[in-house]
Amino acid sequence: MVKLTKFWWIIIIGSVVLIPLILILVITRFLMNPVKSWWFFGGALIFYFVVGLITGIIFLIFKLRVKKEPKIELEPKDARAKAVYELKMDEDNPDNFIVEKQKILRVGMIGLPRTSILWLKGKGSEKNQRIDALINLGDTKGEISWLRGGTDQESKETAKGMALNPSEEIVEEKIMGIDEFGRPTTRVTTKKASQVEKKLEEEKKEAESANII
């Protein structure tokens, strides 16, 4: 299938509009006797204007909607398989991940591109302990955050922290301990400022520097 460039689209649309208008003008003003009113030509102009306006609005709505749709670089089925394999091959605490439920969360600040997070809820076959995996589908690497024995609310908060543009600041928290088998456990939540917050912080620093000078 041949993909047309913007130049050719302009030529095609211009021809579709101009050729009928020229034909109407020639027929009504030069070939017909008696000469017809200018309203024939004016009516055609109004028709094209209305059609163009409606088409433009529809195109704008569609374009804005496409921009706001979360980008998916990693297919959910591939992300799920990756999570199952990663937990099985974990060096510190390997287990068979039995996925019971899954859903895709759209997280991030309203008005900015959101991030698609695959939420896998299940358990480990070894101890039947609840295990949640949060996977960033907007990254081909498939960043995974694991929660063992957590709650739905903790999983949702973790998903928010994985957003490209998080709706609120996430505080870094590193909890280390030992499970009942004497194996070390670690849970880390990373502090991550949104692009808007970063910009505001940079503007604040620039203003402070200007005042000092």
CA distance 101 to 130: 12
In a domain, 205, yes or no: no
CA distance 90 to 101: 22
Question: Are 58 and 125 in a shared domain?
Answer: no
Question: Are 170 and 106 in a shared domain?
Answer: yes
Please report the pLDDT score of residue 50 as a whole number: 86
Question: Are 36 and 56 in a shared domain?
Answer: yes
In a domain, 50, yes or no: yes
Please report the pLDDT score of residue 70 as a whole number: 59
Could you tell me which of 141, 137, 140 has the C-alpha nearest to residue 159? 137
If you compute the radius of gyration of the chain from its CA atoms, what whole number of angstroms results? Answer: 29
**In the block, which residue shows the tokens 């996925």?**
99
CA distance 32 to 41: 13
Question: Are 107 and 83 in a shared domain?
Answer: yes
**What's the average model confidence in pLDDT over 63-69?**
57
Q: What SS3 state is found at 192? A: coil
In a domain, 207, yes or no: no
Question: Are 54 and 126 in a shared domain?
Answer: no
Structure tokens, 42: 């004016």
pLDDT in tens, 152-176: 999 998 888 888 877 655 544 445 5
Question: Are 85 and 60 in a shared domain?
Answer: no
Q: Which domain holds residue 13?
A: 6-68
pLDDT-based confidence at 85, cuts 50/70/90?
very high
Question: Are 189 and 106 in a shared domain?
Answer: yes
CA distance 122 to 100: 5
**What is the longest distance spanned by two Cα atoms in the chain?**
102
Q: With 80 as the cut, is the pLDDT of residue 201 above it? A: no
Question: Are 82 and 167 in a shared domain?
Answer: yes
CA distance 213 to 211: 5
Structural domain ending residue among the three candidates 49, 68, 87: 68
Please report the pLDDT score of residue 171 as a whole number: 45
Highest mean pLDDT among 81-90, 133-142, 157-166: 81-90
Q: Give 95-153 as a DSSP string.
A: --EEEEEEEEEEES-TTS--EEEEEEEEEETTT--EEEEEEETTSTT--EEEEES--HH
Question: Are 133 and 34 in a shared domain?
Answer: no
In a domain, 53, yes or no: yes
H or E segment and range at residue 72: none
In a domain, 206, yes or no: no
> Number of folded domains in the chain?
2
Average pLDDT score, the chain:
77
**What's the average model confidence in pLDDT over 8-22?**
80
Please report the pLDDT score of residue 22 as a whole number: 84
Please report the pLDDT score of residue 172 as a whole number: 45
Instruction: Answer whether the bond into residue 34 is a cis peptide, omega within 30°.
Output: yes
β-bridge mates for residue 101, sequence order:
121
**What's the average model confidence in pLDDT over 118-128?**
91
In a domain, 63, yes or no: yes
Question: Are 63 and 85 in a shared domain?
Answer: no
Question: Are 52 and 89 in a shared domain?
Answer: no
**In the block, which residue shows the tokens 């024939």?**
40
Selected residue with higher pLDDT from 202 and 35: 35
